[in-house]
Amino acid sequence: MSEPTPISDPYAYLNIVKNPDGSITRDLTNFPCAAATPDPSPENPAVSKDLPVNHSKSTWLRLYLPSSAVNAGVSSQKLPLVVYYHGGGFILCSVDMQAFHDFCSEMARDLNAIVVSPSYRLAPEHRLPAAYDDGIEALEWIKTSDDEWIKSHADFSNVFLMGTSAGGNLAYNVGLRSVDSVSDLIPLQIRGLILHHPFFGGEERCGSEIRLVNDQVCPPIVTDVMWDLSLPVGADRDHEYSNPTVRDGSEDLEKIGRLRWKVMMIGGEDDPMIDRQIDVAKLMKKKGVEVVEQYTGGDAHGAEIRDPCKRKTLFVSIKNFISSLL
């Protein structure tokens, strides 16, 4: 079998153009969007609706409720709350992208959970930590929301932070930021983090990045550009936002362990970032965090987002993880 042709122009691969003022122009034709589905119907695994979070930042969220909960009415049991941050290397994609909408709808149904998917400002127009700030602000919004779906159905004592790719990095960093504000988040109680193919980096190439240098989904030449556009100006990939293992990791990891939050690290063995994900999991365990690891052979980066056939197995594993903490 011949080697795949290496991606030589990451900007062309990403369909972006860098502008003189530092912003980028995005060609979104490859990212079809889906409208929310507020009305129950047999085709919709979940009902969903869009709600504003911060008008000044143009941030918003999409709320998903299993159709079964709608049919059961107010008397139904309270459901775990999964806060899900979408991927896109911090520079692309949105909550309403069709693939993320379908993923969250099916996840709400299969986990029997409320899923809240917040938007966040994208880089390079808004470099990190802007996305982390928005991720925290979404938790504050949920905490004080008077939305009827949340009030009637959400179990605030069972909250999980989850994300795919850049969203997994976001969930990790929102988790770290939240350890010192646990009392401020009450009645929200975070029980765990679900890191799905989280986006991590570093200056020195790791083994899987070398092995998969010509990966056709998310090769290092592409992720280098994503980090260059999203990290604070002047920072390299060994910044703590991209490489959590630098300087033996954040001391806040030990606080996650003391809070008894549990972490699920999910990766694919054909993802160039797999070794970084394994190293972060190893660091968390060293800091006293209980980590459940699941690495799937043959899976490229974000496999379950692109391939609906792979979702059912993933959601069974996540449901078991959540059930172990209820």
In contact, 307 and 301? CB cutoff 8 Å? no
Catalytic hit among 133, 270, 271, 299:
271
Q: What angle do CA 204, 198, 66 make, to 5 degrees?
A: 175
Question: Which residues, 6+ apart, have CB-to-CB distance to 121 below 8 Å?
Answer: 57, 58, 59, 130, 131, 134
Strand, helix or coil for residue 136: helix
Q: What angle do CA 18, 90, 208 make, to 5 degrees?
A: 100
Burial track 112-121 (b if 16+ CB lie within 10 A, e otherwise): ebbbbbbbbb
Is 126 noted as a catalytic residue in this protein?
no
Catalytic residue among 165, 178, 208, 250: 165
153 is catalytic: no
- What is the C-alpha to C-alpha distance for residues 17 and 14, in angstroms, rounded to an integer? 9
Alpha-carbon span 218 to 199, nearest angstrom: 10
Judge whether 183 counts as a catalytic residue: no
d(CA 227, CA 131): 13
Catalytic residue among 86, 101, 196, 301: 301
Q: Which tokens is 109 given? A: 């149904």
Q: Among all residues, which ones are annotated catalytic?
A: 165, 271, 301
